[in-house]
Chains A and B, each alone.
Chain A
Amino acid sequence: MSEYILELNGITKRFSGVKALDHVYFKLKAGEIHALMGENGAGKSTFIKIITGVHEADEGEILLDGQPVNFKNPNEAKRAGIAAIYQHVTCYPDLSVTENIFMGHERIAKGSKRILWKEMHEEAQRLLEELGASFSPKTQMGALSVAEQQIVEIAKALSMDARIIIMDEPTAALSSRESEELYRITEQLRDRGAAIIFISHRFEDMYRLASKVTVFRDSKYIGTWKTDEISKSELIVAMVGREITQLFPKKDVAIGEELLRVEGLGRTGYFADVSFTIHRGEIVGLTGLVGSGRTEVCETLFGIQTPDQGQIWLKGRKTRIKSPAQAMRKGIAYLPEDRQKQGLVLDWSISDNITLPSLWQISRKGWTHKKKEREVAKELAERLGVKARTIFDLVSSLSGGNQQKVVFAKLLAMDIDVLILDEPTKGVDVGAKSAIYEIISELAAQGLGILMVSSEMPEVIGMCDKVLVMREGRITASLDRSELSQENILAAAMAD
């Protein structure tokens, strides 16, 4: 019997030649909470997928109780006692809580294979009570809050007698009170002897819960420390591998006239009472935890959703924005959070993607003007430094950073005043990141007003003139550049 319940040695995973994991190590003991940290794209999610049998590793070995194992599908991992709880709960919204808990391992009668509903409901009730939940197991899953759904997922892990529980950013979408509840449950699981891998972007989570922390960076294993032996700043250095201040090419730009003013904006169920202004040359950051309503505010400004309350002034004129097309006509452009689903047509060429929003302006009275399109696309792609051979390359063949540059190029093909950026560097490698920061600064210098949503604290601090912090649908702080610090932002982003 090994000292470790789970051991991963030299795991490597490639996706079409690109290494998503490069010789990483991880050791987990029973009754331990082990944090896994790293920036976006550091390889954490691939790592989980290998442990849970979604992907198979190309190299390296996985030892479970000292015995080598090779999970070919999620079921095998599940049977070995490994369960994962994700930030976005993958549930069956139309089915009951009981069914969600027992899906895939229903209690069935020995001979007839009949599902034993009564037993399952009782068992579910017991598990939920144990976890301190007060809803009935017969509730429909879709009617629960995210926090409640996560409790169901934990109950599911318990019902399978999971010995290894992976929690992937479970607190990201929770209020602090709900997070507190989750901490309590997590500790309870640990005390029962479960081994827990806790993935989080929140240092608080880590210091509060974990006894050890492992850091990945750029698909590589960086190291493992005891949490009481490593400071936050040391951890940050381990995660980013550099001094964060050097990265940001923020230019000093004279702040010009007011471009956009929002007063008391609200949308039932998403956010309320949001007010701020953006001036020419200004970069305004909008931060807060995932699910705090940031994206919804952006989408409302861009006409994807319609507000229930509040007013929007554009260059001093009160205005209503009913559709993205209208927003663009009024000079507002939006770089959406999900590049692949919202930003690009992946099967299209760079050129066609760049010209899509401005196609009408480039056209000859509605008939496409291929030559002009090519010129516009080429000019913008070069200006933004898209790395590609021809403008006819499919964007699906580009790296994340280059794809993001194509999205920028799309927006710049139009005549705009206000640029809304939703997580502009998400899933982008380090080199491309600084290129994107350079683009953003340049645009601000040219007199655009920029609203930048970001979860990455250094980026917000490094780039913005003013930062708005949202929590639970409301703006809780508006910080000037002089007041910006991780501590101030965190304090405003996290509850009471």
Chain B
Amino acid sequence: MDSYDTGKTAVAAAGSTAVKRKVAWSSYAARFRELGLLFFIVLLCMIIQLRNPSFLTWDNIQDLVNNTAILSILSVGMMMVIITRGIDLSVGAILALSGMISAMTVSEYPGTPPMLALLLGAVIGIVCGSIIGFLVSKMDLLPIIATLGMMNVYRGLTYLISDGSWVSAHQMSEAFKKLGTGTWLGISYLVWFAVLVYVIAYYFITHTRTGRQIYAVGSNPEAARISGIQMNRILWLVYAIMGGLSGMAGVLWVAKFASAQGDTATGYELSVIAACVVGGVSIAGGVGKLSGVLLGAILLGIINNALPLINVSPFWQMGIQGAIILAAVLINAVIKRGVDRTHLMRRNI
């Protein structure tokens, strides 16, 4: 850069070499975070495989992928929410509510086409999400407060409408259960749904103005306001999308496990948030990639799936998940510091 004079490098050189090495490491980490994550996943798989050879069998892989599909769908929505500097704790509750309503509909009217049930779930989810979006955008509620409150409202509603009872496998039509168990070209519908969601989401966040505005709002809300982006609309939208995806996931979940209960997916939002932060979505907003989120979801899927295989008690799962979230946000923070430092050096006086 010709506009930099030599005086600057002198000051920069004054920084200790230890600092410099850290800088190099962290900016490297930021650039290749997805590769690193992928590498970590491969490593993890190898370790698990060594301890239990039944891990990398076709059946188990299929199982794992199917189990991860729903998580990965939800992570897309959560990514957009977190990019706008928000958070959504109501995911599990919306999932349960829409799963319950659609399961009850299916058991009442066995002729309901599965796609209609899916649509119903999505609509319920969108309504639930829109309410949260309204509270966050128009009423200025902190996302944590709005979603904490509504999470309990939705969870309570699920219990109320089901009167505490379950909808179980024999009350659902075969066609409906196919949604969760059926395959096409040897790959389950769940995975196809996830692929569809990712393709649409990719197009949406990279190739449409509204999609890019999500990033803009998260990266610098002040600038977004000045440049005339309708913040309220964007915030509303991301929570509605999150709700819609949760609603759809609810139907898939109920179809897959062939049961709808009041406590379905309690705390599932935590796995979703974990997938996002592990995938490099910044809690500070503005940053997040679908590829990262997908890898994050896969990593969480593997951990959830493989723990029993290597004789780790399932009771460790929660602790491990929490540790992963914390480690991921801390590592993100440290990398961010390093990158900012690098930028500062470049900007040096």
The answer to whether A and B belong to the same complex is yes
Interface residues of chain A, those whose CB is within 8 Å of chain B, are 54, 73-75, 78, 90-95, 99, 103-104, 106, 108, 113-115, 117, 134-135, 142-148, 175, 177-178, 181, 266, 268-272, 292-293, 308-309, 472-474
Contact, CB under 8 Å: A472 / B228: no
Contact, CB under 8 Å: A269 / B228: no
**Which single residue of chain A is at the shortest CB-CB distance from B1?**
A134
- The distance in angstroms between the C-alpha atoms of A293 and B348, with both chains bound, is 11
- The distance in angstroms between the C-alpha atoms of A91 and B219, with both chains bound, is 9
- The distance in angstroms between the C-alpha atoms of A80 and B282, with both chains bound, is 36
Interface residues of B in 255-294 (CB under 8 A from A): 282, 286-287
Contact, CB under 8 Å: B19 / A106: no
Given A74-B228, A104-B228, the answer on whether A269 and B286 have CB atoms closer than 8 Å is no
**B197: Cβ under 8 A from any A Cβ:** no
Interface residues of B in 1-29 (CB under 8 A from A): 1-3, 5, 7-8, 10-12, 14-16, 19
**B37: Cβ under 8 A from any A Cβ:** no
Query: What A residues does B12 contact at CB under 8 A?
Result: 268-269
CB distance from A72 to the nearest CB of B (A): 11
- The distance in angstroms between the C-alpha atoms of A364 and B33, with both chains bound, is 55
Contact, CB under 8 Å: A74 / B343: no
CB distance from B18 to the nearest CB of A (A): 12
Contact, CB under 8 Å: B207 / A114: yes
Query: What A residues does B206 contact at CB under 8 A?
Result: 115, 117
CB distance from B85 to the nearest CB of A (A): 12
Contact, CB under 8 Å: A106 / B14: no
Contact, CB under 8 Å: B216 / A272: no
Given A78-B228, A268-B19, A269-B348, the answer on whether A90 and B220 have CB atoms closer than 8 Å is yes
**B208: Cβ under 8 A from any A Cβ:** yes
Interface string of B200-220 (1 = CB under 8 A from A): 000100111100100110111
- The distance in angstroms between the C-alpha atoms of A123 and B210, with both chains bound, is 21
- The distance in angstroms between the C-alpha atoms of A5 and B218, with both chains bound, is 37
A175, A292, A293: the one within 8 Å of B5 (CB):
A175
Query: What B residues does A91 contact at CB under 8 A?
Result: 220, 223
Interface-centre pick from B5, B227, B343, B349 (highest chain A CB count, 10 A): B349
Contact, CB under 8 Å: A94 / B286: yes
Contact, CB under 8 Å: A93 / B219: yes
CB distance from A305 to the nearest CB of B (A): 13
Given A91-B223, A94-B287, the answer on whether A269 and B216 have CB atoms closer than 8 Å is no
CB distance from A78 to the nearest CB of B (A): 7
- The distance in angstroms between the C-alpha atoms of A145 and B3, with both chains bound, is 10
**Which single residue of chain B is at the shortest CB-CB distance from A266?**
B14
Contact, CB under 8 Å: B343 / A472: no
- The distance in angstroms between the C-alpha atoms of A148 and B3, with both chains bound, is 9
- The distance in angstroms between the C-alpha atoms of A473 and B11, with both chains bound, is 9
Contact, CB under 8 Å: B207 / A103: no
**B45: Cβ under 8 A from any A Cβ:** no
Query: What A residues does B229 contact at CB under 8 A?
Result: 103-104
**B63: Cβ under 8 A from any A Cβ:** no
- The distance in angstroms between the C-alpha atoms of A143 and B339, with both chains bound, is 9
Contact, CB under 8 Å: A115 / B227: no
For this complex, 28 residue pairs linking A to B, each with C-beta atoms less than 8 Å apart, are A54-B226, A74-B227, A92-B215, A92-B219, A92-B223, A92-B224, A92-B286, A93-B286, A103-B212, A103-B227, A108-B209, A114-B203, A115-B207, A115-B209, A143-B346, A145-B346, A145-B347, A146-B347, A175-B5, A177-B5, A178-B3, A268-B11, A268-B345, A269-B11, A269-B12, A269-B15, A270-B349, A309-B14
Query: What A residues does B11 contact at CB under 8 A?
Result: 266, 268-269, 272, 473-474
Query: What B residues does A93 contact at CB under 8 A?
Result: 219-220, 286
Interface string of B218-238 (1 = CB under 8 A from A): 111011101111000000000
